[in-house]
Amino acid sequence: MRSRALAALVLGSALLAVPLTAPSPVDAVGPLPECRLADILTVPRDYDNWSITLVDWLLSVGEDYVPPDLVPVSDAGITGPGLIRAVAIADLAAMTEAAAAAGTPIAVNSPYRSYQEQVASFNGWVGVDGYDIASTYSQRPGHSEHQLGLTIDFMTKGGGSALQGDWATTPSGAWMAEHAWEFGWLMSYPKGAGGSYEWSDASCFHYEPWHYRYLGREIAAAVHESGLTIREYLWTHFTMVDPTTGLPIPTATPTPSPTPTPSPRVSPTASPSATPSHTPMSPSPAGGWLGLDPPVVAVVFVLIGLLILTPIALAARRGLIRR
């Protein structure tokens, strides 16, 4: 029982562990899921794990996700409206200054958007192009990186709309494409196969040369070096949800401990057979006997033993006395 309690404690601690800054890559769910419209709550999605929280066609942060530290983008000395998370301000300021120093100044077009604002935006595009086409270039509510408070649609400072043409071929857009990662920012939706503007199977989205997400310098550098999109990199290393079932999966530890067969994750008094499985780590029948918890099995065997042995012992005792 002691080792069992210890194992449960270790497992529990691993599940509760929350990386604070720049978590190290681990093996997450494995193969990248194909592009599919779904509404799976992303894991992790707590506000401290901002750098590794992923939203895409499948993954959503849900309606209630409102970052707690939104501040005006102007706090970074950049021109433009709206809000961004405070965690991104210092690097946004450094990037703004560097872009201006290079003679390719940038400004903010559209930063944080709430769930409700995304509802209005998405519905507007559905009205124009219909649901199927609109979802290739406008994220459904809950699935927008803008709701993370870490994403900005940039434009050239003093210039026109970045949404027309290919902003990455303009001086400011080209500077961003080359240097933004050095400041922790990355283009989320690069061109697709064959240079497609319309669709990328890697990002599951339309090409958006103006749309950059903040990941922090460490992870942005790793993604940049990998040559992957943000979506591919986070799915591969950090996203902890089963893309098929939509259920969270336990956080993998970098150094696997020799944990025995997973025990049923239910209270010791509950009967596993009466409890439907809610986790991928479902109780294994091989761990018990007739589906019973090992301690219950032990008690049953002791009782059976007493029932059989007691009469024999008594009979033997009588026999001894008779002799």
Compose the 98-117 pattern: x for residues touching Zn ion by CB under 5 A, - for all others.
Answer: --------------------
Q: Is 85 in the site for Zn ion (CB under 5 A)?
A: no
CB of 208 to Zn ion, least distance (A): 6
Q: Is the dihedral of CA 200, 206, 210, 216 positive or negative?
A: negative
Interface residue with Zn ion, options 11, 84, 107, 153 (CB under 5 A): 153
**CB-wise, 211 or 237, nearer to Zn ion?**
211
Residues 6+ apart with CB under 8 A from 205: 56, 57, 136, 137, 139, 188, 189, 199
Nearer to Zn ion, 82 or 288 (CB): 82
Which of 113, 140, 206, 211 binds Zn ion (CB under 5 A)? It is 211
Which range of residues in 57-65, 94-102, 116-124, 203-211 is near Zn ion by CB under 5 A?
203-211
Nearest residue to Zn ion, by Cβ distance, number only:
211
Q: Tell me the DSSP string of 60-116.
A: E--TT---TTEEEGGGGT--SSSEEEGGGHHHHHHHHHHHHHTT--EEEEE----HH
Q: Among candidates 151, 178, 162, 176, which has minimal Cα distance to 100?
A: 176
Q: Choose the stretch contacting Zn ion; rule: CB under 5 A; options: 129-137, 208-216, 233-241, 258-266.
A: 208-216
Nearer residue to Zn ion within complex by CB, 139 or 236: 139
Q: Closer to Zn ion by CB, 42 or 138: give it.
A: 138
In the structure encoding, which two tokens stand for residue 139, read together? Answer: 């994220």
Classify residue 316 by its DSSP letter. H
Looking at beta carbons only, is 136 or 253 nearer to Zn ion? 136
Distance of closest approach, residue 160 Cβ to Zn ion, in angstroms: 17
Encoded tokens for 217: 């310098």
| Residues facing residue 152 across a β-bridge | 212
Q: What count of residues does the chain have?
A: 323
Taking CB under 5 A as the binding criterion, the range among 3-11, 34-42, 148-156, 299-307 that sits at the site for Zn ion is 148-156
User: Which region, judged by CB under 5 A, interacts with Zn ion, from 4-12, 15-23, 101-109, 206-214?
Assistant: 206-214
Q: Please, what is the minimum distance in Å from the beta carbon of residue 30 to Zn ion?
A: 29
Token pair, residue 310, equals 């007691």
Radius of gyration of the chain (CA): 28
Chain positions contacting Zn ion, by CB under 5 A: 153, 211
